[in-house]
Each structure stands twice: as C-alpha cells, then as structure tokens.
A and B are shown apart, each in its own frame.
Chain A
Amino acid sequence: MAVLVYTENWDGKFKKLSFELASYASKVAEMLNTNSVALSIGKTEAGELEKLGNYGVNKIINAQGEGLDKLDNQVFTKVIADFARKEGATVILLANNNTGKALAPRLSVNLKAGIGSGVSKLPLSTSPFVVYKRAYSGNAFAKLQIKTDIRIITLAQNSFELIEKNASASIENETVQVDKSMVKTHVQEVQKQSGKVLLTDADIVVSGGRGMKSPDNWAPLVELADLLGAATACSRPVSDEGWRGHEEHTGQTGKIIAPNLYFAIGISGATQHLAGVSSSKYIVAVNTDKDAPVFEAAQYGIVGDAQKVLPKLVEAVKEIKSK
C-alpha cells in the first residue's frame, strides 16, 4: 500500500503547487497508515528532488528516460500506472491543472480507479473513501464517494496549506524505456510568457472588467499588479473584445483560480465570473454601482470609478512598500 503523488516539474524545477501535492499526499498517507511516494518524471535540476522530502513524502522515485521531456498523455499514463502498480498504490494524487486533467482520467481507466477531481480538502473519510470537491461551477460542493480499491484524486491549486516537516526522503533512480512508436504527440513549437507571474500560481491577482472602459486604461492596473507581485486577469467581456488575451480570462469558462487576494476592478460580478474566483480567500471589489453583485462576494469594497481609484491604490501601495 502507498499513496503515490505525481509531482510534475517545470523546466526542471518544482513550485509551490508541487509542495502542496507532497503535503497533501503525506497527510493522506497518515490517514491510511501508509507511506507516501513522490514520482518525478524527466530531468530535474540538482537539489530539486530533495525539496519534496521537506513536505513529508517518504520516498522519491526519479524516473528518467528518453522521450520523457515532452508530455505525451499515453506515455506518461503508462509510466505512472506502472509505478502505481509496482508500489501497490491505493491512492494516486495529481494536480488539477492542465497536466493532471490530461492524465488522471486516462489513469482512472488504466487502473480501474474512480476519480475525484478538483478536490479542495483532505478526504472526509477513508472507509468509505469520500472526497470533497467543487460542483456546479462553484455554486455547490459535492461529497463524492470513490468506490474502487484504487482512488485517483486531483488537488485544486492553492487549496491546501503547505506542511513543512524538515525531513528527508530516500531517492530511487529509475530508468524508463519508452517505446518510441508509442509517442504520438509531436511538439513543434513552444511559446512561453517569460517574466510574468502566472495567473494560476499567483497569491494576488488584479483583474479588470468592462468598467475599465478601454484597453488603453490598463496601465495603472498593471502597475498595481507589478507593485504587489500579482498576476493580471480580466473578465470575459474584456477577453472577448480582445482588450486582453484569453489566457487572462477568469471565470466559469476561463481559468478557475483561488488566490489569497483577488482585486475585481470594474467587474460587476456575474454568476459566471464569480464561479471562477469564489475560492479566493479575500475579494476586493471596485465598482461604480453599489448594487453590483460583486459586492456580495467581496469582503472589501470601494464604490467608485476604476480610473479614479486605481492611481490612489497605486500610491497607497507605494507608500507601504517604501516603509
């Protein structure tokens, strides 16, 4: 028995999400009286694997091999499933991000394991095995019973506190032979945004809506985000109009995020928008209409025009940063 957690790396590095996964896996292992094992696939920078041990996993499998540097869903599913069988894993944990969403359902069929996705808490019970997950796009939560002996969980980002243990884990190096004919996904080109805080990783997000009135008015919003080390985001009408890119759209059909602090600037707060941000710990709303639904979701509000309020916010943040 074991809890197996797939810890993806980004250009050889782990990030907060990886440590959230390791912390969660080690807690679930405690609940099941078993060990937690992290699986890393592909090259990582020196010293990175050791960091996972800090968050309580007992063992780290370092799987290397040709053909593992780019994600092919079939290849990665086979690698994870093989290690899951070898370790006798009864729980397999992945992130509820693009990679996790691509692999978890394939693993579910491969291992005949029920899946609870977008889980935001520890399992409510282990016998029966019940997880707590988002449902109806954030308008409800479901208690989902997974009936199979092996269970797959995908963990919602920013939903689980890191638990540092100051421990270390053993590292096992494994060489994986990839059957080249199995690789069907051929990556032609990679485009990366550099130097920007990723929306899904950000602790603070500053988001603009139609109340910003024009794409030319974004400078103070971006300045505020830069000062706070925050990511920028927008509402659906803004991305539909092409004022900002689709990758910034937060809401039901865009990105679902859960930062510590979300600034909704000039966003009225339609149900579909709030569905994407309602898991934020704090929401600040700035809107000219005091009856806008966004104020029902916010803890702090300013009734006012975004163009007048933003420069003042920028000044106030500069002041505290200078202290």
Chain B
Amino acid sequence: MKILVCISNVPDTTTRVRFVDDFKKLDASGIQWVINPWDELSLTRALELKDDASTGVKSVTVAHVGPASAEPTIRKALAIGADDAIRVNAEPADAYYVASQLAEVVKTEQFDMIMCGIESSDHNGSTVGGMLSELLNFPSVSAVSNLKIENGQVVINREIDGGKETVLVPTPVVVVVQKGIAKEPRIAAMRGIMMARTKPIKVLEPLAVDTLTEVAGYEMPQPRAACKFIDAENPKQLIDMLQNEAKVL
C-alpha cells in the first residue's frame, strides 16, 4: 500500500495575523510557517502505520501545492519520516485549484490511500480532501479520528454528532482526518533531519485550472468589551449579572 499525505503550509498557530494592501493580503513579514496541525497528525498516523509491518504500507509520500518558499515545511515532513515528496509549483489559488493539482498527482503516481487534514488553519475551508475524492471518483470518509489497516482493509472511526461509527472502506480511498488520529505529532530527530537533506522532492508544473472563489478582503474581529471582574467570594453576583444583564441564564 502506498499512502499520500497532503500537507498545507500555514502560519504558526500562535501568529497574530495582520493584513496589507487594504486588508486584501496577509502580511507575511515575520511569520513562522509550519505544517498545518491536522496534516502533521495525519503524517504521524501514516508513519505509525508504515512502522507496523502487518499493515503492508510500503511508502509514505507527502504532496504540497505551493511555491519554492514552502520547501522548508516539506523538508520538515521528510525529516519527520516521509519517504519522498511532491511539490506542485504554484500559488495555492483556491481550494478547487489545489484539489485539482493534487488529483493530477494521484492519477500519475497511483496511491491507495490519500490522507488530508480536516481543514487548514489559515482558510478554514474543510474542502480540499472532499473535492479531491470527487475529482478522482474515490470513496471518502470524513471526520476520521482513528484509522487502522486490518487484512488489507481500512478500518475507520468517524465522528458523528453525539457518537462514533466504525466503518470499512475499500481502497483507493480519501480519508479526511481530525483530532485523535494520532496522539501527538511526531517530532523530527537529528538523524531524520540529516536524512531529509537527501530525500527527493519531485517538482511538478501545475495544470491550468480556473479558480471558483476569490478573497475580496479580510476583516479583524470586533474587539470585545473589557472584562467585568466579580469578587471571588461572591459568585452569586456573577450569576445575577448573567441572568439580568447578559440575559443568558
């Protein structure tokens, strides 16, 4: 079995975002770029599966759609343990554009399981994985919080409102993973970092694809009113305020 893990390059999750060009563009100055947190968990789970010989997982490849400036993030994925990487050399213009590029990668390289994070922490779209599955006409399972391979079958726990379902799906399949898929992201060891330098990153030129959406501009959240402090000895006053002032009780 060959696994493809799709990774997105996002601002570090503690970044206080700012915008330039009349709030049309992210101010990239000073931003630390990282692997999208869900993609990092997804990669970790893929590598755990490969470590277990009984799963029959032969290789874990990472794919990314982005310019050359994203290579440090791809190298990090290789240092964590991916065998090789594919980068489609293009600005990730919108979700449909990205999914279309990834679909082409899957068609030419043939993978059995494609893993995507439930969303990217920048655009919060939750769209690329699902789009990719429909473009390929593969089955998809979303909200995946546990994934095993038993007797060549993919056994998945997916979250539903108020519970979990255990489902079986045939390959090839697209799985969209979320929290719980791996306990903690795997960290690159020194040996991995050294080895990552020589692992191959294949660079592909993009297909011509139209975008379906475009960001017209960004807005910052409204600042909240200052916090009203209540004496710790008198929480009754808090309950009273919630009931009569905020009217939420």
A interface residues with partner B (beta carbon < 8 Å): 10, 70-74, 77, 96-99, 101-110, 112-118, 128, 130, 133-148, 154, 184-193, 196, 198, 200-201, 203-204, 228, 240, 246-247, 249, 252-254, 260-261, 270-272, 275, 278, 281-282, 284-285, 295-305, 308-309, 312-313, 315-317, 319-320
Per the bound structure, the CA–CA distance linking A139 and B215 in Å amounts to: 16
- Tell me if B14 counts as interface (CB < 8 A to partner A): yes
| 16 CB < 8 A contacts A-B | A98-B160, A102-B141, A115-B212, A117-B124, A137-B121, A141-B219, A141-B220, A144-B215, A147-B213, A186-B169, A240-B183, A246-B145, A252-B37, A282-B246, A312-B236, A316-B235
Partner pick for B161 among A70, A98, A144, CB 8 A cutoff: A98
Per the bound structure, the CA–CA distance linking A249 and B37 in Å amounts to: 15
**Given the contacts A184-B170, A192-B162, A139 and B179 also touching, CB distance less than 8 Å:** no
Per the bound structure, the CA–CA distance linking A66 and B213 in Å amounts to: 36
A95 to chain B, nearest CB (A): 10
Per the bound structure, the CA–CA distance linking A133 and B214 in Å amounts to: 12
Per the bound structure, the CA–CA distance linking A309 and B237 in Å amounts to: 12
Main secondary structure of the interface of B (DSSP, over half): mixed
Partner pick for B124 among A77, A133, A285, CB 8 A cutoff: A133
Partner pick for A138 among B173, B221, B224, CB 8 A cutoff: B221
CB-CB under 8 A from A309, the residues of chain B are: 232, 235
Cβ contact within 8 Å between A136 and B17: yes
Closest chain A residue, CB of each to CB of B24: A143
**Given the contacts A114-B96, A140-B218, A190-B165, A300 and B230 also touching, CB distance less than 8 Å:** yes
Per the bound structure, the CA–CA distance linking A244 and B132 in Å amounts to: 34
CB-CB under 8 A from B161, the residues of chain A are: 10, 97-99, 198, 200-201
Cβ contact within 8 Å between A298 and B124: no
Cβ contact within 8 Å between A105 and B221: no
Per the bound structure, the CA–CA distance linking A188 and B166 in Å amounts to: 5
Q: Which of B99, B158, B235 has the most CB of A within 10 A?
A: B235
Partner pick for A271 among B13, B119, B140, B235, CB 8 A cutoff: B13
- Tell me if B8 counts as interface (CB < 8 A to partner A): no
- In the complex, how many residues of chain B place their beta carbon closer than 8 angstroms to a beta carbon of chain A? 87
Cβ contact within 8 Å between B212 and A146: yes
Per the bound structure, the CA–CA distance linking A271 and B212 in Å amounts to: 31
Cβ contact within 8 Å between B130 and A102: yes
Per the bound structure, the CA–CA distance linking A128 and B215 in Å amounts to: 12
Cβ contact within 8 Å between B212 and A108: yes
Cβ contact within 8 Å between A115 and B95: yes
Cβ contact within 8 Å between B219 and A130: no
**Given the contacts A143-B217, A317-B239, A193 and B163 also touching, CB distance less than 8 Å:** yes
Closest chain A residue, CB of each to CB of B142: A102
A34 to chain B, nearest CB (A): 21
CB-CB under 8 A from A204, the residues of chain B are: 248-249
A133 to chain B, nearest CB (A): 7
Closest chain A residue, CB of each to CB of B94: A114
- Tell me if B167 counts as interface (CB < 8 A to partner A): yes
A-B residue pairs, 5 tightest by C-beta: A105-B130, A304-B232, A114-B212, A102-B142, A192-B163
Partner pick for B140 among A73, A137, A272, A315, CB 8 A cutoff: A73
CB-CB under 8 A from B143, the residues of chain A are: 98, 101-102
| Binary interface encoding of chain B residues 108-150 relative to chain A, with 1 for a CB under 8 A from any of its CBs, else 0 | 0000000000110111111111110111010111110100000
Partner pick for A105 among B128, B243, B248, CB 8 A cutoff: B128
Closest chain A residue, CB of each to CB of B239: A316
CB-CB under 8 A from A117, the residues of chain B are: 124-127
Per the bound structure, the CA–CA distance linking A315 and B238 in Å amounts to: 12
Not counting A106-B130, A185-B167, A316-B236, a sample of 11 additional A-B residue pairs whose C-beta atoms are within 8 angstroms of each other reads A108-B96, A109-B99, A114-B96, A117-B125, A185-B139, A190-B165, A192-B163, A193-B163, A246-B145, A252-B121, A302-B230
Cβ contact within 8 Å between B248 and A146: no
CB-CB under 8 A from B163, the residues of chain A are: 190-193
CB-CB under 8 A from B173, the residues of chain A are: 184
Per the bound structure, the CA–CA distance linking A74 and B170 in Å amounts to: 13
